Structure 1
Amino acid sequence: MTNLSPIQYQIYPKNPAAHLFEIVCIVSDPDEDGQRFSLPAWIPGSYMIREFAKNIVQLSAECNGKPVVTKKLDKDTWQCAPCDGPMKLTYEVYAWDLSVRAAHLDNTHGYFNGTSVFLMVQGKEDRPCIVDIRPPVGDVFQSWRVGTAMSRDSAAPYGFGLYRAENYDELVDHPVEMGEFTLATFEACGVPHDIIITGRHRSDMDRLCTDLKKICEHHIRFFGEPAPMDRYVFMVMAVGDGYGGLEHRASTSLLCSRDDLPKSDELAVSEGYRTFLGLCSHEYFHTWNVKRIKPKAFLPYELSRESYTPLLWAFEGITSYYDDLALLRCGLITQESYLELLGQTATRVWRSQGRFKQTLEESSFDAWTKFYRQDENAPNAIVSYYTKGALVALALDLSIRSGTNQEKSLDDVMRALWQEYGLPLKGVPDEGVEKIVLEVTGLPLQDFFHKALRSTEDLPLNELLAPFGVAFMLRAAESENDKGGKPSKKSEDISKARAVLGAKIQGSGDARLSYVFDGGAAQEAGLAAGDVIMAINGLRAASGNLEQNIGGYPVGETLELHVFRRDELMVFNPVLKAAPLDTCVLTLMDNADVVAVAQRNNWLGFTERD
């Protein structure tokens, strides 16, 4: 086989204060008809067209020291004129997206995903890639280091210099962090793992390593050793208030609130730290489920346009089921804590009227246009394939366990998917997950899948959980901040039900409605998203006191609301309704018999298998 010259890239933080990266791409043998270059329109794991090419500020090409004419063909593709000899393409990228999806650069750090900065050389996508990651110029940047799971070529560990990837697909699957960061390392099943934290924080790094080691070893052993990567990197950006994660083949980018990280003087697992560990667990589970066990529609990724699949419920929903379950099985949280998290997940589903209008398969398929582009009607129109997908995974797991007398479970299904589709990396067809479930369990679950995936029926969680000694109940929310998962602290007397308007207030300051819920008092009175409530029964209203003021009236009371819609003052007269029973609570049954307790422990525990 002929050795083909690699594609060479250089990336340089040219002007951190202006948030500009300079990138150079060198092609030794450009297409004789004129080389084309293109930038992805989306990043795997985040199913929305983001038009990364919009951030390219300027672009030019040269060959043998002479300019080469370039022409833009569409939103993200450039055509260069034919030339004889190596071609050098130089361009700048504006990087000011502080998220896990794109690129960000300032005087404190630099971060990028390859999909945001590396133009693809069309027709040469399978070529090896060499990347020269260069430091910014200036004394203030002398202590900057590089964090990435990309393979080093001649670069020193955590140093600037040459890195390499086998092809373009691998190149854009290794995000890079540069700057001053906290670094800690541990091994999980013999694989080195780095934790890199950028941003001010005071984390207990030893505890973080200990806890993440438990999670990583659990997931590796769940699917079976050896791990599918030689090294793994957790790349964390700690901010005042933030949350997000994006999976990659050997790393994950995480955005978290610095207060969610563990402190040396805290012994318990706080709610914030539990949230952070669940995020880490979720993205790490993706190392298998979606990065290697992936929909057939993603092999290969078509990064210039949408790639539709009805299977996101399986890749995100099942992952969302196992992320917190792993925390329990590792001994990091209690059964009660885990059931609280399940209750919060169920609450998010039950509070969405969209679950009666969109099926789970439709939610997966329409992620590009609905889930990732939510508007003021989203709660009334869509259901999340993350949250309802997690509940379907729970229901499927319980159904399998009950139907096989605990001989089989969803654990066995996931390992079968790994053996069938992950190790050979051949792509899961639309019917592949259901087919594997039927083969592994031998159960007639066709009707389950029809109802769970292709209908809008609520899942019978109470019926499924009872044999495992877990009670499922619904109650009214105690306030707008009630996330569910915990029993009520107040009386459940219907005569004392809390009165609600049936709308959500946006942020602070003016009482502006962000959502108006189907069937609520606000919608029936004619209120709409964007309306600003100025007064209630003649008294001034603001976002900070609206809920309290409305809750002071009895159910059935008719209010007089003075409201601005755009610049017009209007009057509406909603009739207050009782807070709906849409808050879910899962609890351990006090009267569960020995069999139920044993089944529950088998489900919630983790037994390593040969």
Structure 2
Amino acid sequence: MKNTVLYTIAPKDLAAHLFEVTLTVDKPDPDGQIFFLPAWIPGSYMIREFARNIVRINAQSDGEVVTLKKLDKHTWQASPCKGTITLEYEVYAWDLSVRAAHLDQTHGFFNGTSVFLSVQGQENLPHVVDIRRPEGEELKTWRVATALPQLKAKRYGFGTYVAANYDELIDHPVEMGTFDLATFKAHGVSHDIVITGRVPNLDMARLSADLKKICEAQIALFEPKSKRAPMDRYVFLTLAVGDGYGGLEHRASTALICSRNDLPVKGQKEMSEGYRTYLGLCSHEYFHTWNVKRIKPAAFAPYDLRTEGYTSLLWLFEGFTSYYDDLMLVRSGVIDEAAYFKLVGKTINGVLRGSGRTKQSVAESSFDAWTKYYRQDENSPNAIVSYYAKGSLIGLALDLAIRTETKGRKSLDDVMRALWQRYGRDFYSDLGGAGVTENDVERLFDEIAGLKLKRFFDRYVRGIDDLPLGKLLAPFGVEMSDKRKDAKPGLGIRTSRDGNDCKLANVYEGGAAHRAGLSAGDILIAMDGLRVSASNFDTLLARYRVGDAVTLHAFRRDELMMFDATLTPDDAPQVTLAGQAKPAAHARLRAAWLGTKSAG
């Protein structure tokens, strides 16, 4: 095909974890074509320098060697040539995550940002990729799963796939190997579930039924009349491992990783916590199909994948998505109100636990994602606030406030639909779309809700005040309580297991351990002369009372140190939510919010 950018990608050496990629350009820049690999992947706001995994690269034109000069850590320039130029390179793929690429004898996976060099100046041409089968008789059962449109390939088959441009090419992750597969339709659109990894007695029928409910609820939220999804086909790509969790959104698919124990088992009807968590992850990434993949912050329209893209709106794009992910579980009937209130309570407790919320606003947290949120350390709870978690509570607070002030006539749903209609629906169409600015967001809220919300934004988005959730929940017949008055003695720490040792993962500011001089990374070995281990620390601590003095011995690096601490009440929040049946007006308001037939 002429006037296209053509790639081939093949699993070259599974044991060495190498993909081999070729890139052919028909009409390279006569002054010397420039190529670059993205430094980050949309949805994960951290510079990852994927080019470091290119282990060999060369170029030729009409059989002649072409010199490649490296301009910076992820950019190459070819020497001038008149004919077609072809690059050949190998990519090391050993990142078992949703963000990069992974290859071994069990499967292959890649995001385009990790393997496909961009051709500068030709990003808007059609891009074709030939995905080739690995060699070996035992690998003939491998298939391909991706949402990329097929060109000369059967669905789930090796062959050629096509994208309208580079941005679309890198927005469709690819899984290859042997996998479990199921398909369902949500409002007429095919949705594939692909599960890679060994999962005994996987209940695909239940998973399909639950995801269908969640997907249809989300489609109806944004398009209540037409029920029209923004994609022709969607793929849930899940890698099941012994222990793992994560997801990354794409325009017509999502890459997920989970523990195999989180997936439903045939014959088990109860909703396990792990399965509920997995459905919440699927719900979160699916909601991104609208919120961030098409409704975008202005800084991402278009993406500059060579450097950081700063926005103070991640509290909306990630936070509101986190609000709706669990809300969609209850609205779709997958979980009940009590389970939903438990999830909200857990989020509230997580936000209130760290003192970082008193130092950083969610707008600042969004802007600093590149250097703080995605590069967390042992002091992060004392220094930052999560734009995911507090952002979800801001979404909750705004939804409740709008519903209350308008007596149920308006809600956050109306704001999200307005964002979709004005900024998202046409983003990938010929009409094109623009990103949303901070001022756009605030004006839209005032317009759609019919309220003046500047004070709210000043206090809770740009400011660091705690949200008045108890007051906002009351008109919905939901009681919020905090049982910290019954707190047991504590040191103000979070521990982790290091072998059988009890290691301090976090020392919370103002707690007993902080006052005594303990630090994150210290290994507790004794309390009042009794040996401390990862398995007995809580049991030992439970024998004391608030106000008791204890002597602690700990290793810091290889030095033994002693600390005198006075136990304080464990001030970890213990917020719980409970719905009340009366008065009926509250129950009706709650039912409209949660999409339940009855409340109480």
| Same fold at TM > 0.5 | yes
Match of 2:339 in 1: 337
2:39 & 2:596 partners in 1: Cα distance? 41
1:30 & 1:387 partners in 2: Cα distance? 47
2:103 & 2:2 partners in 1: Cα distance? 33
Match of 1:489 in 2: none
Matched, 1:194 2:192: yes
Give the AA of the match of 1:186. Answer: F
Q: Deviations over 1:205-259 (max 9, x none)?
A: 1111111111111111111132111110000101111111110000000111111
Give the AA of the match of 1:517. Answer: Y
Match of 1:40 in 2: 38
Match of 1:372 in 2: 374
Matched, 1:571 2:562: yes
1:174 & 1:8 partners in 2: Cα distance? 16
Which of 493, 499, 515 is equivalent to 1:503? Answer: 493
Aligned residue runs from structure 1 range 178-577, under 5 A: 178-201=176-199, 202-224=201-223, 225-424=227-426, 425-476=433-484, 494=486, 497-508=487-498, 509-577=500-568
Shift of 1:272: 1.3
Is the 1:61–1:89 contact (alpha carbons within 8 Å) kept by the matching residues of 2? yes
Shift of 1:505: 1.5
Give the AA of the match of 1:208. Answer: L
Give the AA of the match of 2:343. Answer: L
Match of 1:91 in 2: 89
2:450 & 2:543 partners in 1: Cα distance? 56
Counterpart secondary structure, 1:560: strand
Match of 2:132 in 1: 134
Which of 62, 65, 73 is equivalent to 2:63? Answer: 65
Give the AA of the match of 1:148. Answer: T
Q: Deviations over 1:81-110 (max 9, x none)?
A: 111211110111100111100000000100
Match of 1:486 in 2: none
1:156 & 1:332 partners in 2: Cα distance? 34
Q: Deviations over 1:311-364 (max 9, x none)?
A: 000011111111111111111111111111111111110111111110010011
1:247 & 1:370 partners in 2: Cα distance? 21
Shift of 1:5: 0.9
Matched, 1:161 2:169: no
Which of 582, 590, 593 is equivalent to 1:603? Answer: 593
Match of 1:104 in 2: 102
Give the AA of the match of 1:355. Answer: R
Counterpart secondary structure, 2:494: strand
Which of 70, 77, 80 is equivalent to 2:78? Answer: 80
Counterpart secondary structure, 1:174: coil
Match of 1:54 in 2: 52
Q: Which runs of 4+ in 1 moved over 4 A?
A: none
Aligned residue pairs, count: 586
Change in 2 beyond 3 A, CA 1:538/1:581: closer
Shift of 1:593: 0.8
Shift of 1:545: 1.3
1:141 & 1:312 partners in 2: Cα distance? 42
Moved more, 223-232 or 381-390: 223-232
Give the AA of the match of 1:506. Answer: S
Give the AA of the match of 1:203. Answer: L
Is the 2:28–2:84 contact (alpha carbons within 8 Å) kept by the matching residues of 1? yes
Counterpart secondary structure, 1:18: coil
1:214 & 1:427 partners in 2: Cα distance? 30
Shift of 1:268: 2.1
Q: Deviations over 1:158-212 (max 9, x none)?
A: 1101000000000000000000001111111111111110001131111111111
2:2 & 2:61 partners in 1: Cα distance? 19
Shift of 1:134: 0.3
Shift of 1:310: 0.5
Is the 2:349–2:572 contact (alpha carbons within 8 Å) kept by the matching residues of 1? no
1:71 & 1:102 partners in 2: Cα distance? 25
1:511 & 1:330 partners in 2: Cα distance? 42
Shift of 1:22: 0.5
1:88 & 1:4 partners in 2: Cα distance? 14
Counterpart secondary structure, 2:521: coil
Percent identity of equivalent pairs = 58
2:459 & 2:415 partners in 1: Cα distance? 20
Give the AA of the match of 1:124. Answer: Q
TM-score normalized with structure 2 length: 0.96
Counterpart secondary structure, 1:433: helix
Is the 2:195–2:240 contact (alpha carbons within 8 Å) kept by the matching residues of 1? yes
Is the 2:476–2:589 contact (alpha carbons within 8 Å) kept by the matching residues of 1? yes
Shift of 1:4: 6.2
Counterpart secondary structure, 2:302: coil
Is the 1:25–1:89 contact (alpha carbons within 8 Å) kept by the matching residues of 2? yes
Give the AA of the match of 2:233. Answer: R
Moved more, 523-532 or 174-183: 523-532
1:589 & 1:190 partners in 2: Cα distance? 38
Shift of 1:10: 0.4
Moved more, 427-436 or 296-305: 427-436
Q: Deviations over 1:559-583 (max 9, x none)?
A: 1112211222111111111111512
Counterpart secondary structure, 1:303: coil
Q: Deviations over 1:38-87 (max 9, x none)?
A: 00010000111111111111111111112111111111001111112111
2:209 & 2:592 partners in 1: Cα distance? 25
Aligned residue runs from structure 1 range 111-122, under 5 A: 111-122=109-120
Match of 1:485 in 2: none
Give the AA of the match of 2:413. Answer: D
Counterpart secondary structure, 1:83: coil
TM-score normalized with structure 1 length: 0.95
Shift of 1:504: 1.5
Moved more, 267-276 or 368-377: 267-276
Shift of 1:139: 0.9
